[in-house]
Amino acid sequence: MDTGRKLILVKRNTAEILTEDHLRQKFESKKRLFAYYGTAPTGLYHMGYLVPLSKLFDFNKAGISNKVLIADIHASLDDLKTQWEEVDAVADYYKKCIELSFPWDKKPEFVFGSSFQLNKNYQADVLKLSSLSTVARVTRAASEVTRMKNPKVSELIYPIMQSLDEEYLNVDIQLGGIDQRHIFAYAREYLPLLNYEPRVEIMTPLIVSLKGQGVKMSASMPESRILVHDSEETIRKNINNAYCPMGIVQDNPVLQLTKFIVFGVNNKLKIERDEKFGGNIIFDSYEQLENEFVNKNIHPMDLKNTLSNNLIKIFSKVRNYFEKNSDMISK
């Protein structure tokens, strides 16, 4: 695959890339590229977390090898969102959710942060970067990710460690949501101060709450989310109640889940409906679907039913697993 086609694949469904020129240079270097996506195991695992993960399918097609960092130490650094004594169990729960949520053609390599973040060289680099960073700079880096209500020292360490993860995981690309932008920019600016290469930073959009109107899907807001292991009944109920006005694209969680999850995994979408309402219709791209929805040729309930059916099918493996292993679910 040539560089142009790889760039198209990698850019699909992204919000920003720091920088596209740097990414092009990486592809033109002809070497094998590695990327990582990191997630801190805090709370219940919902489908909003899967938007960047769905990009790994595109990375695979572009010849990029993928790692998933279960950032267990980060989960406690962030204002004890997960207590230190609970973090191992929640980390195992997250790993299982990710492993089983998608029909991986090639599974990513899983790495736990605690497997390398406590070693001597890593911690020495944490101290070095902390001596080069002002409180104001790391506060800005952490501001969109950690709670920062009454900032703990650990919340300022958080972006320093996330930046160093790029070096110690030996990757070329870091992938995450657009809320990670301040940390990604900090990493590109500060890693060279330790003579480490800046990485390409790729960001994906955030899925809005099922209620719509600009609030992101959140683990702490049950009415805003769908968990990857929710029952079929719960998925249908929550999708049926989701914000999805006729012809409206902005802040429409039903369209977003269809775009980033369903089309992120599958190349086609089939909407089944009665002949008197136009009969079945197959879309080869999300853009085709959105155009028909904007033109009010697709009824919201037909779209909701189709999305529910697809989510139930895609997440059947993880749902079945946790029906038998409910004791693993983070409370």
Q: What is the pLDDT of residues 27-66, one digit of tens each?
A: 998 788 999 999 999 989 998 888 898 899 899 999 999 9
Integer CA distances (angstroms), 75 to 40, 214, 252, in order? 5, 25, 30
Q: Is the pLDDT of residue 213 over 80?
A: no
- Alpha-carbon distance of 234 to 187, in angstroms, equals 40
Going from N- to C-terminal start, the domains of the chain cover 3-204, 222-328
Q: How many CA atoms lie within 13 A of 205 on its CB side?
A: 19
- Alpha-carbon distance of 219 to 301, in angstroms, equals 25
- Alpha-carbon distance of 52 to 262, in angstroms, equals 13
3-state secondary structure of 216: strand
Per-residue pLDDT of 59-117, as tens digits, reads: 999 999 999 999 999 999 999 999 999 999 999 999 999 999 888 888 899 999 999 99
Question: Of 93-107, 263-277, 310-324, which gets the smallest average pLDDT?
Answer: 263-277
Class of domain 222-328 (CATH, top level): mainly alpha
Decide if 170 contacts 101 (C-beta within 8 A): no
Rounded to 10 degrees, the C-alpha dihedral 67/70/74/78 comes to 120
What is the DSSP pairing of strand 200-204 with strand 16-18? Answer: antiparallel
Cβ count near 21 (within 10 Å): 10
CATH of 3-204, one of 3.40.50.620, 3.10.20.30, 3.10.20.600, 3.40.50.720: 3.40.50.620
Q: What is the pTM of this model?
A: 0.91
Cβ count near 70 (within 10 Å): 25
Per-residue pLDDT of 135-173, as tens digits, reads: 999 999 999 888 888 889 999 999 999 999 999 999 999
